[in-house]
Amino acid sequence: MHETHHAPAAVLPASPHRLLSLDVLRGITIAFMIMVNNNGDGHFAWSFMKHADWNGMTATDLVFPTFLFVVGASIVFAFEARLARGATRAHLAAQVARRAVILFLLGLVVNGFPHFPLATLRIYGVLQRIAICYLVVGLFYLWDRRPMTKFVVAVAALLGYWLLMTHVSVPGFGMPGRDVPLLDKNANLVAWLDRHIFPGRLYEGVRDPEGLLSDLPALATTLFGVLAGQWLRTVHTKTQKAEGMAGAAALSFALGLLWAVWFPLNKKLWTSSYVLAAAGISAGLWALLYWMIECRGWRGRWTWPWVVLGSNAIAAYMVSELLPGAVGLVPVTVAGKRSDALRWVFVHIFSRVPNPGLGCFLYSACFLLVCFLPVWWMYRRRIFLKV
């Protein structure tokens, strides 16, 4: 499950198949993901550190799609490097399937830890969605590496999802926009389907933010990452690549906002407008990092922590998800009630910060630092999880 590499202490091995800017983007994304998932007290956290309640989009809502975007881009660089070294497509396909299964199982571990209530164990999840997208898009890329096919399938997925969510009657509720409000929290096709597939196993009781049907537009998010990766492997100059991706990012974001007039931005339903807007932000951030790091050569100490996190992103995520459950096994008393050590730390230290939002942010930053330490240890020993 892990491989040991001999890499320099500051950065990962430089090669024509690897971009430092992609590693930095992955590291920034996983760092923010850890922070927003552990903000101490969601009631007082700054608004950008929380998900939108339903329709709308905050900075936090950009984290997961950016990670899927990075997964798509990484498929291009990793697969092309392996193929160039003589690996067969059949071998890579088998590896993709194995890694997808491991990711899915790790997601179940995250959902169940530490008590594993099998009767109500949630099946959907972040790692599960990553596994599905990696499997489908990875196999698709091995079967056909033409950019146009990726674009056509991504557009078809977004249009198809829009049609399903807006023009298909929801059994027991009726037609969206006519009999029930469009994208009603409970009376939408995604929630209805999930309630019939996994009753009693959904994150929000009657609905789930990583539902089965919304995997369809999530595949489009991953495919847009593939397209970005393919663009950066063309023969254009580095400056032209950065400018081209920035232009595509602006167009995607604008189209997403325009589509949102009729099909609102919604992270929990992963709406098509949300896919385009989020992909625009992800591509724009990568274009900026590419210009800074690959074009201008601005690299060094500031890139180091992001590379450390990005080189072991799944390990960092697992630590951040399992740590609260493990700490929760140690009972403490907070305000006369049974709680856990992390809650005690927040109440007795960070909640005393005069600005409640700043207190939550500082707690998130400290939690990230704790998760960084084991990943740093792994990095120093050249241990990189490959799942």
Cis check for the bond before 209: say yes or no (omega within 30 of 0).
no
CB 305 within 8 Å of CB 26: no
Q: In 183-277, at which residue ranges do the beta strands (DSSP E only) sit? A: none
Radius of gyration of the chain (CA): 21
Say if pTM beats, i.e. exceeds, 0.95: no
Please classify residue 357 by burial: count the beta carbons closer than 10 Å to its beta carbon, then call 0-12 exposed, 13-18 middle and 19+ buried.
middle
CB 40 within 8 Å of CB 328: no
Mean pLDDT of the 340-351 span: 88
Digit-coded pLDDT (tens) for 295-324: 999 998 999 999 999 999 999 999 999 999
Confidence bin at 6 (pLDDT 50/70/90): very low
Mean pLDDT, rounded, of the chain: 92
Number of domains into which the chain is organized = 1
For residue 129, the model assigns a pLDDT of: 98
Mean pLDDT of the 261-277 span: 98
CB 90 within 8 Å of CB 83: no
For residue 17, the model assigns a pLDDT of: 53
Digit-coded pLDDT (tens) for 213-256: 999 999 999 999 999 999 999 999 999 999 999 999 999 999 99
Q: Torsions phi, psi of 229, nearest 5?
A: -65, -40
Digit-coded pLDDT (tens) for 86-115: 999 999 999 999 999 999 999 999 999 999
Structural domain harbouring 135: 2-385
Instruction: Evaluate the CA torsion angle 88, 94, 97, 103 in order and state its sign.
Output: negative
Confidence bin at 387 (pLDDT 50/70/90): low
For residue 341, the model assigns a pLDDT of: 84
What is 84-117 written as a DSSP string? HTT--HHHHHHHHHHHHHHHHHHHHHHHHTTT--
For residue 79, the model assigns a pLDDT of: 96
Digit-coded pLDDT (tens) for 134-170: 999 999 999 999 999 999 999 999 999 999 999 999 9
Digit-coded pLDDT (tens) for 9-65: 333 333 445 799 999 999 999 999 999 999 888 789 999 999 999 999 999 999 999
Say whether pLDDT at 334 is over 70.
no
The candidate with the shortest Cα–Cα distance to 18, out of 66, 63, 65, 79, is 79
